[in-house]
Amino acid sequence: MTMAMEAMAGALAGFQGAAEPLLGAHSFWAAIVLLTIAVRLLMLPLALRQARSVKAVRALAPQLEKLQRKYRNKPQALAEARMALLRTHHINPFLGCLTLLVQSPVLYVLFQTVRTPVIDGVPNLLTGQAFLFGVGLDAQWLGLVGLGARLASPAGLTILALALLVGLLTHLTLRRPGSDLDSGLGGGASGQLAVAQRSMRLVMPVVSAGFAVTVPLAVVLYLVTSSAWTYGQQLLLFR
């Protein structure tokens, strides 16, 4: 973990140094935004593969509908037939999950880096630095003491607003074609699968916002930037 945190700290230092001439003291939180953009750029080939997968599933909609009629009362057989059809056309139904899995280690290392004041003998450059309104990058909504601090202080309101923004962006993204829910069997979803997808579209924004209030502000900034990127990416790839 120390090596991963050293790499994270080095990357943040590089981005902060690049942003400092333009943004001054704001370059520290801007470094997190730039880090997120760099990660999402590296993930672009995966996003393009996912987009092609979604479009391929859409093209199979007539065949998927035939399978639904054929196996209407046999959900297990329907699921197996769908998977066989996708394999025949070389479509990976789990590409949407990969976008989340790839970012999970980055989020975890960033979380640990923000919480560590000294990394391998070097002071953490994020320690003592702030976002807008003087809210520390290590501030955590659930770590604020008292309801007043969480709902009325600059730190509480800032983090809560950003957490709600994460939830809103997740909601907007999942409502669009080409979302992670559509990268698998979404092109012909019906019955139990359709119900599960509707449930996920309701639950995931709440889960995303709920997660955001449990982590430091630096991680919330990553979540906001990544969520905004995902939404914008969907707008461009599925116009």
Q: What is the average pLDDT across 70-87?
A: 80
Number of helices (H), then strands (E), in the chain:
10, 2
Specify the length of the chain in residues: 239
Q: Write out pLDDT tens, residues 127-163.
A: 999 999 999 999 999 999 999 999 999 999 999 999 9
Q: Write out pLDDT tens, residues 92-132.
A: 766 667 777 888 999 999 999 999 999 888 899 999 999 99
Q: Which one has a higher pLDDT value, 64 or 144? A: 144
Into how many domains does the chain fold?
Answer: 1
Q: Domain residues for 224?
A: 2-237
Residue (of 90, 89, 85) closest to 66 by Cα position: 85
How far lies 47's CA from each of 100, 182, 215, in Å?
A: 11, 13, 26
**For position 129, what pLDDT does the model report?**
94
Which pLDDT band holds residue 191 (cuts at 50, 70, 90)?
low
How far lies 97's CA from each of 47, 94, 179, 201, in Å?
A: 11, 5, 11, 15
Q: Ramachandran region of residue 146, left (φ > 0), alpha (ψ -120 to 50) or beta?
A: left
Return the percentage of the chain with pLDDT > 90, whole number: 54
- Contacts of 158 by beta carbon, 8 Å cutoff, 6+ apart: 131, 132, 133, 135, 217
**For position 169, what pLDDT does the model report?**
96
For residue 187, is pLDDT > 70?
no
Residue 169 token pair:
């962006």
By three-state DSSP, how is residue 119 classified?
Answer: strand
